[in-house]
Structure 1
Amino acid sequence: MANASAALDHADDPSIQDLLALRPWLKYDVVDGLLMDGVPLAAIARQAGTPTWVTSAAVLRGRCRALADALAATGLDAGIHYAVKANDGRAVLDLMRREGLGADVVSGGELRKALAAGMPAADVVYSGVGKSAAELRLALASEVGQINVESAEELAMIAAIASELGVTARIALRVNPDVDAETNDKISTGRARDKFGIAYQDAVALYRHAATLPHVQPVGLATHIGSQITGLAPFRAAFDRLSTLIVALRTEGLRVAVMDCGGGLGIPYRNEPVPTPAGLAAVIKGAFHNLDVRVAVEPGRWLVGPTSVLLASVILVKQTPATRFIVLDAAMNDLARPAMYDAWHGIVPVSAADAARPVFPATVVGPVCESSDTFARGRALPPLGQDAVVAILDAGAYGRVMSSTYNARPLAAEAWVDGGHWCLTRERQTIEALWDGERLPT
């Protein structure tokens, strides 16, 4: 085989065995192949086809409870608002509601979906840098628990709409602490040059102004510095700056009851060391334990990322003098993260026999007509034949929710695994549905 003796581009990547060791809900059976919570993924692929998203309800429940327990152990008054943007599947939102989580939404659509899932409006935080007037009316009419204000201009919009509706807007100022989260540039949100939040030096004056507005009730502060953060130092720096602001506001006699700490806790896609919920909770306690505030977190990726895989089948293996290309039926329109962020996802065969074979470097790609439609380069994988099924790991966050129908590719099916059984939670989109709603010009 060409390239069999070539050095891998990423010789330090975790092996298939290493990846599964850190994900105990995934394990091989000699006959049935890769299991998720005891359910053969090969059986799901045969019956549902590929590509298909598969989510473990047990893993999701466990992560909700682990985070809640870590916060409870601090002794702080704390709440969790799930960041709906990470995965807005109805089954996911329903489970979150049953576990007692609220929602963090960033659009009118997400707000409507969270409310439709049964989440109480009082447990919804509305974030986002560009809320339209229509969206703000919806939020205020729905009586959401908190609106995180991103700018002086947005505060003026909220005040005017609240006056028009005759309601009181409960708001928190989202402060940009000018802290580098040391993550991918495209998902860093707490630096002065980023579009998010109110400049740190302007926060006290704007909070003071908000307190004078007749239909606005400032309840506290919020911050969010980025996503996939793999160290605690950026959180510590941001929270230290926010605690100083709380003291400054109270010195002026202003009420600060809530500190919304945002999200951003990373997960080990590549088995890299990442902070635990207990570690993050300790940092939050260190910053705010003596300030008598209700703290809140807005996790997304940490809760849902590891809960799902994307099943895909091999269309063909293309051998060139330089590279072995494994072409899958999943593509960048299904999972955009590798193309958008150069993100790393584990890829493992579903067949136990395939997983036991020697590995060789391969480039894993999809069929979309873009060179960026690449899931991995120089990845150590065994020989895979046509129709072999692979699982792309840690695909629960920013996977199905960012999917598109580019190249006229229908949205993938979705399956739910719980208690040793599985069911479809979304049928595969039909080809005809791609043009449903289109009309020819008259």
Structure 2
Amino acid sequence: MEALAERSAAVADLAGIPTPAYVYDLAEVRRNHRRLDAALPAGTGLLYSLKANPHPDVLGALREAGARPEVCSSGELRAALDAGWNGDQVLYTGPAKRDAEVAAALRTGVREFSVDSPHAVAQLDRLAGEAGVRARYLLRVNDDQPVPGQGLAMTGVPSQFGADTGWILAEPARFAGGEHAEASGLHLYMGTNLTAVDDLIGQFGRALDTAARLRDALAPHGVRLRTFDLGGGFGAPFAKEGTAGELPGLREGLEALLAEKLPGWRERGLDVVFESGRYLVGTAGTLVTAVLDVKRSQGKDIVVLESGINHLGGMSGMRRLPPLSPHVLGPAGPPVLDALVAGPLCTPLDTWHRTAKLPELSPGDLVTVPNVGAYGLCASLVAFLGHPLPVEVVVDGDRPGAPARTSRVELVRTTDPGNEE
């Protein structure tokens, strides 16, 4: 609760900023990284999934904290390199890649990729050969069954992600690598947004069981697995009050799992890594936006904001956006409105909530949506209808009195890094 109070105070101090604005607190990013790192076994690695939020200052804080980058596009790779990571620190993932982006990534020094099919293995082998380098890959696995408790199924269903466990077991030679691309590990991402420690331990245990089956099948084909990327799925609140959880017992549970299913992994020099996006940055972001109009229509209170699904709600097209009820910035009276909360877009789909309990509001009042540092602006419909994009404001609760840094949002560059020559 103390961290939540600190973040609320930091946002309240920004009443004069231009709106709409996403406000990111780097102190919260660091707190979340320390919390998650402490909940994982010593000697394991932690990757940050840039898809959650690629803001340069957020990336810089995570790089300084010791996280490695996981990217899945040329734009994300450019952001990681610009933030100071080297190409050989990057894991390049994604269910399919164009020749041009793989070749460009190889030119920047990327040597580790996640692949999803025999075609992707052959593609990486061919392009690494053309570049005169050796690459390695993690074979992404789509396991036989989904695991319980996940917010979004990433395995056990027909999917563009990974090769089915049964397929690998039936034809292991097709996944065993080539002259220029070596199979070095497995990528076992089972699910997302798991909030219970027991569910997390359950999915990691399932992943390690599958890894053992695949290790035995691939070994006769010369494959020696050294890296086990067990994914993540560490849950965090989205667009509602709350903090990233403490994850009690996770470290002990994972230590026991690894001792049982991957005995002596440290002594054998094996790498066990995890991934996180939303847990690391979700609670570090707040959207501040203004009320444009308040009226009554057909007996219903209507509140129109300057932000809608164009600034927060890209996941709505995938049925992933919960009802969003904003909070008034500053002192507020008791709830008197039973309001439909809408944005400024010229479509009836631009709706955040249909029955929001809100205090009396007037045009010009500021409201906030907490915990949108992950999958907020970067996952929204920013090009739809051409409204101005929000500013992004960076504060640092670890540096009281330090000035906030405000920047205008730029769309992620799509030029392949490595093509500048």
* TM bracket (short chain): 0.7 to 0.9
Question: CA-to-partner distance for each residue in 1:230-250, whole Å, 9 max, x for gaps?
Answer: 344362464244343355247
Structure-2 separation of matches of 1:351 and 1:243: 52
Q: Match of 2:342, as an amino acid?
A: V
RMSD: 2.7
Cα deviation for residue 37 of structure 1 reads: 6.3
Query: In structure 2, what is the Cα distance between the partners aligned to 1:181 and 1:369?
Result: 40
Give the partner amino acid of 2:322: A
Tell me by how many angstroms 1:175 deviates: 0.4
> Is the contact between residue 244 and residue 279 of structure 2 (CA under 8 Å) also seen in structure 1?
no
Tell me, what secondary structure is at the counterpart of 1:192? coil
Kept in 2, the 8 Å contact 1:50–1:330? The answer is no
Encode CA deviations 1:128-165: one digit per residue, 9 max, x unaligned.
01211011112222232520111111111111111111
Deviation at 1:108, TM superposition (A): 1.2
What does the per-residue CA deviation read over 1:97-119, in whole Å, with 9 as the maximum and x for residues that have no partner? 11111100001111121011111
Q: Sort the Cα spacing of 1:337 and 1:361 in 2 relative to 1 into closer, same or farther, 3 A.
A: farther
Does structure 2 retain, via aligned residues, the 8 Å contact 1:235–1:283?
A: no
Q: Please give the alpha-carbon distance, in whole angstroms, between the structure 2 residues aligned to 1:294 and 1:391.
A: 41
Q: CA deviation at 1:282?
A: 4.7
Preserved contact between residue 176 and residue 196 of structure 1 (Cα < 8 Å): yes
- The answer for unaligned runs of 5 or more in structure 2 is 411-421
Distance 1:276 1:207 in 2: 40
How far apart, CA to CA, are the structure 2 residues paired with 1:359 and 1:237? 49
Q: Does 1:36 align with 2:7?
A: yes
Show the counterpart of 1:113: 79
Q: Matched residue pairs, number?
A: 392
Q: Secondary structure at the match of 1:190?
A: coil
Normalising by the residue count of structure 1, what TM-score does the alignment of the two structures yield?
Answer: 0.81
Indicate yes or no: 2:274 matched with 1:306: no
Report matched runs for 1:209-220 at 5 Å.
209-211=174-176, 213-220=178-185
Q: What's the secondary structure of 1:390's corresponding residue?
A: strand
1:285 aligns to what? 255
- Counterpart amino acid of residue 44 in structure 1: L
Task: State the 1:305 CA deviation.
Answer: 0.7
Match of 2:216 in 1: 248
Does the 8 Å CA contact 1:80/1:296 hold for their aligned counterparts? yes
Distance 2:165 2:378 in 1: 32
Map of 1:25-64 to 2, 5 A cutoff? 25-27=3-5, 36=7, 38-41=9-12, 43-46=13-16, 48-64=17-33
Q: 1:398 aligns with which of 375, 384, 390?
A: 375
TM-score relative to the length of structure 2: 0.84
In the alignment, which residue of structure 2 is the partner of 1:365? 342
Alignment of 1:50-199 (within 5 A): 50-71=19-40, 74-75=41-42, 77-180=43-146, 187-199=152-164
Letter in 1 for 2:20: P
What is the CA–CA distance in structure 1 between the aligned matches of 2:325 and 2:128, rounded to whole Å?
Answer: 48
Task: Give the match for residue 363 of structure 2.
Answer: 386
The residue type paired with residue 311 of structure 1 is V
Structure 1, unpaired ranges of 5+:
1-20, 28-34, 430-442
Report the counterpart of residue 423 of structure 1 in structure 2. 404
> Do the aligned partners of residues 204 and 275 (structure 1) sit closer, same or farther apart at CA in structure 2, a change above 3 Å counting?
farther
Answer yes or no: is the 8 Å Cα contact 1:103–1:125 preserved in 2: yes
> How many angstroms does 1:207 deviate by?
5.3
Q: 1:251-330 maps to which residues of 2 (within 5 A)?
A: 252=220, 254-269=223-238, 270=240, 276-290=246-260, 291=262, 292=265, 293-330=270-307
> Using the alignment, how far apart are the partners of 2:177 and 2:294 within structure 1?
66
Once structures 1 and 2 are overlaid, which stretch shifts more, 201-210 or 386-395? 201-210
Q: Which runs of 4+ in 1 moved over 6 A?
A: 271-275
Q: AA paired with 1:189?
A: M
Name the SS for the 2:191 alignment partner: coil
* Aligned-partner SS, 1:82: strand
Distance in 1 between residues matched to 2:147 and 2:324, nearest whole Å? 21
Q: Which residue of 1 aligns with 2:313?
A: 336
Matches of 2:249 and 2:324, distance apart in 1? 24
Partners of 1:299 and 1:210 lie apart in 2 by: 27
- Cα deviation code 1:311-335 (max 9, x no counterpart): 0111111212442121111111111
SS at match of 2:121: helix
Question: Relative to structure 2, which stretch is displaced further, 307-316 or 404-413?
Answer: 404-413
Call closer, same or farther: CA 1:258–1:338 in 2, change over 3 Å.
closer
Residues of 2 paired with 1:328 and 1:88: CA distance?
25
